[in-house]
Structure 1
Amino acid sequence: MTEAVALAAGLGWASGFRLYAALLIAGLLQFAGWVQLPPALQLLAHPAVLGASGVMAVVEFMADKTPGVDSLWDAIHTFIRVPAGAILAYAAIADLDPAWALAAAIVGGTLAAGTHAAKAGTRAAINTSPEPFSNWGASLAEDVTVVGGAWLVWQYPLVFLGLLLLFVLFCIWWVPRVFRFVRAILRRVGGWLGFSPPAQRP
């Protein structure tokens, strides 16, 4: 049960960072016979699914390394990562118990939303700097984090769940701050362009 919970949480969490890489990693591990995915997720190892997730993982890898394009990509994927995280988490526990699977979907979608918000907000803040190196560094750190998280999910699920709890606490602290910073930048840019914020009601 611990492994199934860690897998559900891990897929939800990773979907907010690198959805297609998460699909590809899980599918490749199943295809190679290194792990046994739950029945509802074994379709990820089908060659057609591997090919599609592989192509999209490469596209996402390139888009995420380009300042500005990464924020546009994140904006579009606001409507993809969160439901995908919920569906993957549900599928990870679907064969155990319907109630637990529904709970997993709720948590998985929430984790995907939190991870996505932290990632998108941080990258938007980083993109206010004209140099590309901080963007590349943040993107590569996300790549390594997802691969490392996948390794922990299957090797040390309890360790992963403990670190995930710390990450959730960090997001609760970090996301409001980074979005306040981004909002302040947008207001400043709006002032430069002649757009004034709406007057506050008395």
Structure 2
Amino acid sequence: MGVVELLGIAASVSLLAGWRLYLCVFATGLAMRTGWIELPHHLAALDVLANPWVLGIAGLGLIAEFFADKIVLLDSVWDAIHTLVRPVGGALLAMAIVDAQDPAWQVISFLLGGGAALLSHGAKAGARVVVNASPEPFSNVAVSTGEDVATAGLLYLALANPVAAVAIAVLFAIAMILLLIMLRRVVKRLLRDPVLAPDPGPPS
């Protein structure tokens, strides 16, 4: 596996961790423990994810996140709490995937992994705030379920096919950047909307 493919896997997993950190940890560890996915030799450092204790904790986090992410407002609170957790988790996953002996590569992978997870986390949290503004609760459940399915599918594809991982990382990063730009425009439009402006009250 070349450097490009290896960095592609690290970037893909880190970006997906910004959406579903516990799912990424649990699914990768379970796939390794059951033999569903035969990871490349370069990813031997991820063996720790197959530890029963790690799987148990990630599984509990996965269940909690699955339900919390589908309840209006609670999902935004959950995202706020994980503003630090997801980037750090994504950074550590990237470090484990790169598994380089050179400390410089470890630092680079940590910074890039954390930045990638923070990017996708920011886009997810911002989009969820906009979705929560909808008066009906079904859009929230639909978006959250879509994130679950997309994360699981893309994670499998990235781990099983290093070449696809590169494409996933590039396209996912571009999509998150575009989503953040779109969210910024939506927020600015909402702030300029006179209907949402605070009532100045009666004149004195």
- TM-score w.r.t. structure 1 length? 0.85
Q: Residue type matched to 2:25 in 1? A: L
Q: Which residue in 2 is equivalent to 1:128?
A: 133
Partner of 1:82: 87
Per-residue deviation, 1:36: 3.8
Corresponding residue for residue 11 of structure 1: 13
Shift of 1:158: 1.4
- Which residue matches 1:173? 178
Deviation (angstroms), 1:104? 1.7
Give the alignment's Cα RMSD to 1 decimal: 2.4
**Aligned equivalents of 1:184 and 1:47: distance in 2?**
48
Give the ranges of 4+ consecutive aligned residues of structure 1 lying more than 6 Å apart after TM superposition: 186-190
Partner amino acid for 2:150? T
Task: Label 1:95 to 1:193 Cα distance change in 2 as closer, same or farther (>3 A).
Answer: farther
Q: CA deviation at 1:89?
A: 0.3
Q: Cα distance, 1:96 vs. partner?
A: 5.0
Distance in 2 separating the partners of 1:81 and 1:145 = 17
What does residue range 1-202 of structure 1 map to in structure 2 within 5 Å? 1-2=1-2, 3-33=5-35, 34-36=37-39, 38-182=43-187, 185=190, 191-192=197-198
Relative contact order, CA 8 A, sep 6+: which one is greater?
Answer: 2
Amino acid at match of 2:87: V
Give the unaligned 5+ runs of structure 2.
Answer: none
Query: Once the 2 structures are TM-superposed, how far is the Cα of residue 5 of structure 1 from its aligned partner?
Result: 2.4
3-state DSSP class of the match of 1:176?
A: helix
Q: Assess if the C-alpha contact under 8 Å between 1:121 and 1:182 holds in 2.
A: no
Q: Is the CA contact (8 Å cut-off) linking 2:39 and 2:159 kept in structure 1? A: no
Alpha-carbon offset, residue 190 of structure 1: 7.5
Gaps of 5+ in 1: 195-202
Alignment size in residue pairs: 195
Q: 1:28 to 1:186 in 2, by over 3 A?
A: farther
Deviation larger for 151-160 or 90-99: 90-99
Q: What is the CA–CA distance in structure 2 between the aligned matches of 1:129 and 1:135, rounded to whole Å? A: 8
Q: Cα deviation per residue 1:18-57 (whole Å; 9 max; x = unaligned)?
A: 0001000011011113334734321111111111100110
Q: Deviation of residue 187 (structure 1)?
A: 7.8
- Structure 2-normalised TM-score? 0.85
